[in-house]
Amino acid sequence: MWDRIRSSFLAGTAAVLILASLQPGCAQVDDRYPMLSTQSIAPGYPMTGGKLDWSGESGASGHPLMTSDAIRTAAANFNSCLERLWPEASRRGISRATYDAQTRGLTPDLKIMDLMDAQPEFTKAFWEYLDLLVSEDRIARGREILAQNRAAFDAMERAYGVDRHVITAIWGIESKYSTMIGDRPVVRSTATLACVGRRQDYFRNEFFAILELLNRGDVTPDEAKGSWAGAFGPTQFMPTVYKSYAVDADGDGRRDVIASVPDLLASTANYFRKHGWESGQTWGYEIVLPKNFNFLLADRSNVKTIHEWERLGIVRAGAKGFPRGGDRAFLMVPAGSQGPGFLMLTNFRVIMRYNPSEAYALAIGHLSDRLRGGDALVQAWPRHERVLTREERMEMQQLLARRGFDIGESDGRFGPKTRAAIRDYQARSGMVPDGFASQTVLARLRGS
């Protein structure tokens, strides 16, 4: 949902990469969140009207449609591309008047090409990410939002069974409660991406969807402004998500997730319910692991009941009990043996449908707990650990691959294969196999 901190957060180790990639549901780091920028700006970067223009360089992905020549050629043919898209727009019920009004005189926003293919230069640890997003200001404002809109939240929970605190956390993290929505015109962004760059097929659907929303009056052109990939509104819906899940909760005949709080809450809750939200269940629990725990069990594919985890010695942090022992959960240890662990339930996976990042989903879950009056996390994070740079992560992947471990692609992004390879290497080397990509593991790999 952000263009996003929905660029994406590829988490699963302590290093949370703030990357510019696209998520399947809603929100990506973008121009609304400079503190999470993925890339430092090169000296001499061209400016127009106070905004950064395209660098003129090929994209870092190496995709043939992201070369500088391909981008220039596509930009030169932008108007022809828009005209070729008209027949499909017509088949989708978009009027010629709407199409012409939205595309006449439109030029491509090529700065998006740099944002789309930005390489991560900076990283944040899980705890730094939580510090930033689960702040005292965001908690206080969220509680005010909950109190001011109690009736709308009551109606949303009755209709959809989704926890109001989770919806409020989404609102707070995606747009800081509507104060950081983004100012790029969605039509221009999606039209650019539909005609230029490596994701044209995907963005044609988004382009048509925003035109459909404008054609039927769900949104106005002034409202359709957001982040570089087209996510917009307080909870940063992509146009196709708006089209599919927005509802008219206030009964005024318009699905308005921009200015109508009832529509906003119900539409976001509708997305969660349609993706499997379990009413009455929380997202997960902070837990304490016993000594000599087998960290090879900490894998998203390894699901057990809470009772089964308890029999392995896991207890809930803060001397609290688990309310539903039959719930099924997987174990996540984002900082390995040095930090807190979590048992993640079905609803955690649902949050990840909104943004497929463990760091994002943990921030949403923790903020929702704080909004309802819960305490901060009990256990300390290993704040002394320095997050690996991208070059160090790539080096770690290459060293693991040389030793026969399957790490997938050596791209500096630590997905399930890389984390599993780290655990396997740690186990073979007599280390705690917690999958934590630490400086110690990298040093051992270099010396072995």
Quick check: is 348 in a domain? yes
Q: Which of 337, 371, 405 is the last residue of a domain?
A: 371
The rounded distance, in Å, linking the Cα atoms of 239 and 448 is 50
**For residue 38, what are its two tokens?**
């993925």
Strand order in the sheet with 303-305: 303-305, 328-332, 341-344, 284-288, 315-316
pLDDT of 127 strictly over 60: yes
Over 90: is that where the pLDDT of 48 sits?
A: no
pLDDT, tens digit, 9 for 90 and up, residues 254-307? 999 999 999 999 999 999 999 999 999 999 999 999 999 999 999 999 999 999
Q: What residue numbers bound the domain in which 423 lies? A: 390-447
Residues 406 and 332 in one domain: no
Rounded to an integer, the average pLDDT of 396-401 is 96
Q: Residue 162 carries which side chain, given as an amino acid letter?
A: V
Please name every residue paired with 286 in a beta bridge, in sequence order, or none if there are none: 342
What is the domain-level CATH number for residue 443?
Answer: 1.10.101
Q: Are residues 364 and 309 in the same domain?
A: yes
Per-position DSSP letters for 242-284, written without gaps between them: HHHH----SSSSS--TTT-HHHHHHHHHHHHHHTT--TT--SE
371, 402, 420 — which closes off a domain? 371
Same domain, 322 and 362: yes
297 lies in the same domain as 354: yes
- Please check whether residue 171 is in contact with residue 268, taking contact to mean a CB–CB distance below 8 angstroms: yes
Residues 441 and 400 in one domain: yes
Q: For the chain, what is the domain count?
A: 2
314 and 351 belong to one structural domain: yes
- H or E element that contains 8: strand 8-10
Amino acid identity, residue 92?
R
How would you class 389 by CB atoms within 10 Å of its CB: exposed for 0-12, middle for 13-18, buried for 19 or more?
middle
Residue whose token pair is 């990639």: 21
Q: Which residue has the tokens 């997730």?
A: 257
User: Based on the domain organization, do 436 and 358 belong to the same domain?
Assistant: no
pLDDT band (50, 70, 90) for residue 119: low
162-165 CB contacts, 8 Å cutoff, 24+ apart:
162/269, 162/272, 162/273, 162/277, 162/279, 163/282, 163/368, 164/265, 165/368, 165/369, 165/371, 165/372
Asked if residue 242 belongs to a domain, the reply is no
**Beta-carbon contacts of residue 194 (< 8 Å; ≥ 6 apart):** 81, 85, 200, 203, 204, 206, 207
> Is 291 in the same domain as 365?
yes
Is 308 within the bounds of a domain? Answer: yes
Please indicate, yes or no, if residue 357 is contained in any of the structural domains.
yes
User: Could you give the percent of the chain with pLDDT greater than 90?
Assistant: 81
pTM: 0.88
Question: Strands, DSSP E only, in 156-269?
Answer: 184-185, 225-226
Q: What is the mean pLDDT of the chain?
A: 88
Q: Is 252 exposed, middle or buried, given 0-12, 13-18 or 19+ CB atoms closer than 10 A?
A: exposed
Residue 291 lies in a domain: yes
422/408 Cα distance (integer angstroms): 12
How much is the average pLDDT of 322-337? 96
DSSP H helices, 302-434, are 306-311, 346-354, 358-371, 390-402, 416-428
Tell me: do 439 and 410 sit in the same domain.
Answer: yes
294 belongs to a structural domain: yes
Tell me whether residue 344 is in a domain.
yes
Task: Name the domain boundary from 311, 344, 371.
Answer: 371
Q: What does the pLDDT read at residue 202?
A: 96
Rounded average pLDDT over 119-142: 86
Q: Which residues in 212-243 are b (16+ Cβ under 10 Å) and which e? A: bbbbeebbeeebbbbbbbbbbbbbbbbbbbbb
pLDDT grade for 123, boundaries at 50, 70 and 90: low
Are 365 and 318 part of one and the same domain?
yes
Q: What is the pLDDT of residues 208-262, one digit of tens each?
A: 999 999 999 999 999 999 999 999 999 999 999 999 999 999 999 999 999 999 9
Please tell me the distance from the alpha carbon of residue 107 to that of residue 111, in angstroms, as a whole number.
12
In a domain, 296, yes or no: yes
Answer whether 42's CB lies under 8 Å from 55's CB. Answer: yes
